Chain A
């Protein structure tokens, strides 16, 4: 099945809510409307990239383009376990705890 993305100019509130949900953000209707307006403005500017001839140009993910640089594989000090647990909002014993993950599997 071929997927046809919405052209930027035709963005809808549903698109904004769908992408916000992908990013784990929940918007009120007013926030979604404001964001739609902002994104239309920003994407209108970004669309100037579509006019550039990039035929045969390789993408450049970083200006550094290093080859892999490996360090010696030797044991090193890490953060103390308790220091890491102390950062977590909720813990149980040596674990970070979260609300239930799946329906029907109560804690």
Chain B
């Protein structure tokens, strides 16, 4: 008998007793053992603990617990989200030896809902990157072509779902780090509105833009995970007060107005990317939506704005890694100042250092007004432009990335790497929610690679985005394509 593969099917099978959580997790562990050597999505697979968690879920089912919406669903966790008792490195040497003393809110909620935590996934150091090549323990391979990147920074989580290791993985998205790897790996990735998922237990990179969100095969699974992990937590005063509520996934798209951003349908994009957007727009139209052209001029400023605000916040947040209270301390320093400097210099990799120096720069005397404060004003212009558009349309549709997955090592220039995120960063700048779903394939040399499209919604418009993504998937088959694993 073949086992269910989506989170919703697994939960139903475990709830009704047609499969045990233990059977599901054993199958996931076997698949990882067979195939992850070629992908290296996982930093750590904790098979024994996962089996014990699965047994506990089976015991809760046997005792009549019916409040387990994610019963037996294996979940992989990006290595910058805290799980009590587990190591967490953020892909950095500076957190060598660190063991989390508490769990993130999202993790607590997943476990309460019956999910089984299977292990940690690799990411770019402190979630800074678009390729998962900046991870101290090594890069991750794209399951569609192992000489290519999975995207980043949540590349390990995206690859783990794309490879069929787990139906759900958590990632974090500060400038596209869920949606971009989801697009490059051919899966569904959802970035919630700012504040939707409490950031308690998520290592802060740029808190005004950081959000935890799910990678899944289907939008229906993403919605199921969001029902569990969203909602206010007083430990994060910036988490949204109003609840997400039950998401009604049924129906078509009639009555919805969907805008296509002209500036994002660019000749600079890979032709298959524009074709995917056109195909998605046609499908939306067939499903009853009204498609309108929109213009978002300020989005061209997104990357410039992001690379002031993000590094500024990062330089401040990463100041806490100083070798004093936790993490790795450089040995043999003669005084405190030398210890700080050596611990940080030995601990941070090149991309983290670049952003810390850049952030320190734009916040320093003489540059604050010219750069940081100016970027915050441009942020408002971008936000205002979205607000104006969302008075006219319910959703925006466009490409997630300009091109499909690139080869490892192909982009070494930082600015070129940053520009990979040009269609995703503005959602973080303005606090919007967004979902990337696969909508076609691209041919690049000898490789056939997935292409994603992105649905963006207004702040706290998460339910509409997830419903539209689900309706699109109900009327198409792109999300069913899977890579052939060696």
| CB–CB A64/B431 < 8 A | yes
Considering the complex, which residues of chain B in the window 423-454 have a beta carbon less than 8 Å from any beta carbon of chain A? Answer: 429-431
Q: What are the residues of chain A within 8 A of B238 when measuring CB–CB? A: 62, 64, 66
Q: Which of A52-90 contact B (CB under 8 A)?
A: 52, 54, 57-64, 66, 68-69, 71, 79, 83-84, 86-90
Q: How far is the CB of B252 from chain A (nearest CB, A)?
A: 31
Q: Are A19 and B308 in touch, CB under 8 angstroms?
A: no
Contact among A19, A58, A61 with B361 in the assembled complex (CB-CB below 8 Å): A19
Given known pairs A84-B101, A99-B333, the reply for A60 and B379 (CB within 8 Å) is yes
* Contacts A39-B354, A61-B208, A99-B339 given; does A49 touch B371 at CB 8 Å: yes
Asked if residues A16 and B357 are in contact (CB atoms below 8 Å), the reply is yes
Q: How far in angstroms is the closest Cβ of chain A from B419?
A: 8
Q: Are A49 and B374 in contact (CB under 8 A)?
A: yes
A88 contacts B326, CB within 8 Å?
yes
Contact with A along B399-424 (1 / 0, CB 8 A): 00000000000000111001000000
A79, closest chain B residue (CB): B101
Closest to A84 in B: B101
Distance between A43 CB and nearest chain B CB, rounded to angstroms: 8
A93 CA to B338 CA in the complex, in Å?
Answer: 24
User: Are A100 and B304 touching (Cβ within 8 A)?
Assistant: no
Chain B residue contacts of A23, Cβ below 8 A = 315, 319, 344, 356-357, 360
Contacts of A52 in B (CB 8 A): 301, 374, 377-378, 381
- Could you say which of A42, A87, A98 contacts B326, with CB atoms under 8 Å apart? A87
Instruction: State whether the Cβ of A1 lies closer than 8 Å to any Cβ in chain B.
Output: no
Q: How large is the interface on B (under 10, 10 to 19, 20 to 34, 35 or more residues)?
A: 35 or more
Query: Given the complex of chains A and B, what is the CA–CA distance between A66 and B315 in angstroms?
Result: 24
Q: How far is the CA of A24 from the CA of B158 in the complex (A)?
A: 34
Q: Mark A94-106, 1 if CB is under 8 A from B, else 0.
A: 0010111101000
The answer to whether B305 touches A49 (Cβ under 8 A) is yes
- Is A63 within 8 A of B367, CB to CB? no
Is A29's beta carbon under 8 Å from chain B?
A: no
> Are B342 and A26 neighbours in the complex by a CB distance under 8 Å?
yes
Q: Please state if B357 and A46 are interface contacts (CB–CB under 8 Å).
A: no
Q: Is the Cβ of B308 less than 8 Å from the Cβ of A96?
A: no
In the bound assembly, the distance between CA atoms of A96 and B55 in angstroms comes to: 40
CB of B385 to closest CB in A, whole Å: 12
Could you pull out 17 A-B pairs where Cβ atoms are within 8 angstroms? A23-B344, A23-B357, A24-B322, A25-B344, A25-B345, A26-B342, A42-B354, A45-B304, A52-B374, A57-B380, A58-B377, A58-B380, A63-B383, A63-B430, A86-B101, A89-B329, A100-B336
Which B residues form the contact surface with A (CB < 8 A)?
Answer: 98-99, 101-102, 194-195, 208, 234, 237-238, 240-241, 301, 303-305, 307-308, 315, 319, 322-329, 333-342, 344-345, 348, 353-354, 356-358, 360-361, 364-367, 370-371, 373-381, 383, 413-415, 418, 429-431, 459
Besides A46-B304, A62-B431, 11 other A-B contacts (C-beta < 8 A): A20-B360, A24-B340, A42-B354, A43-B358, A45-B415, A47-B304, A63-B430, A64-B208, A87-B325, A88-B326, A99-B335
